[in-house]
Amino acid sequence: MDLRQARFLVTPTSYGKDDPRLKSELESQVGSVQYNPTGKPLTSAEVAALLPGVDAYLAGLDVIDRAALECADRLKVIARYGVGVDNVDLEACKEKGIIVTNTPGANTVSVAELALGLMLALMRHIPEGVESVRQGKWPRLSGLSLEGKTVGILGLGAIGKQLARRLAGFDCRILAYDPCPNLEFAAANQVEFATLDEVIRNSDVVSLHMPLTPETRGMVNDDFLARMKKGSYLINTARGEVIDEMALLRALESGHLRGAGLDAFVVEPPDPANPLLHLPQVIATPHLGAQTDGATKNMGWFALRDCLAVLCGEEPKYRVV
């Protein structure tokens, strides 16, 4: 189609934030661009209200379900600004002939760095130390070192691999579980593959990097947490729905787990009354794993190029369906 006639919907609030060329290049090539009017992920009803007449949708963490897609009268492509497509009804997209793409690899380094940062912050009591000094206190906070500990990585995909590479310099043991183990990578990066149960039972820190699927939804439940080592830590920079939050609360309150670092919640933003937010042994961050200059630029360019490719009748590089 003639790009000068194309209408775009762009909803990620960080789009173009670290690279203004993303907006200027898009706006110079297409007919019109509608940016997110709310400043947060859109509900199904909000998406439905914006989709009529839209040809390309560069999407954040919006709810793109069948009801929303009923209003897509011209939509040809949805480019997810990120990897996960669990919020997109892929079957409805297939039925309507809408191509869906994502941005694999764009934010892997940023998410892996955050996972490592959460580990260090928890184990060395960094937030508690900062707050104590601000209050005029000078406590002796005895922390744990990563050296000599065992870190378990559940899901050794792109992000899990980046985390493993960074952990290799900490002189810790790295255990990993993945349904499709990459033995060559493991051998080159000091990673030992094990069963899911072995990783859970033997790790001082368990870091979650599994995609959200019917099998992984709620996998971190009472049984999972009971099998973790007493005094261990849980890190989640994947999807909030992987964790049963009430089960995690019980494990933390009982002292079975020493702490948790959470960058994702079942409901985002979480209710301020969520009891997990009030535990001192929990570090909660606002789903900022991909919020770095490098990640947002990569996601923006990957998604934009695939949107333009589809509208020009070309095959996108990162097609999902």
Which residue is listed with tokens 């997109």? 88
Which residue is listed with tokens 């992920």? 41
Give 265-273's long-range contacts (Cβ < 8 A, gap of 24+). Answer: 265/240, 266/240, 266/241, 267/240, 268/41, 268/61, 268/240
- Residue 312: how many CB atoms within 10 A of its CB? 11
One-letter amino acid identity for 52? P
Paired with 192 in beta bridges are 175
The gap from C-alpha 257 to its chain's centroid, in whole angstroms, comes to 23
Show Cβ contacts of residue 40 under 8 Å, excluding neighbours closer than 6 positions.
13
Which residue is listed with tokens 């309507």? 96
- Using DSSP bridges, classify how beta strands 7-10 and 257-262 pair: parallel, antiparallel or unpaired: unpaired
- Residue 184: how many CB atoms within 10 A of its CB? 8
CA distance linking residue 308 with residue 110, whole number of Å: 26
CA distance linking residue 12 with residue 82, whole number of Å: 10
Structure tokens given for 70: 């009923």
Contact 164, 188 (CB under 8 A): no
DSSP 259: E
CA distance linking residue 213 with residue 239, whole number of Å: 10
DSSP 271: P
DSSP 256: S
Active site residues: 239, 268, 287
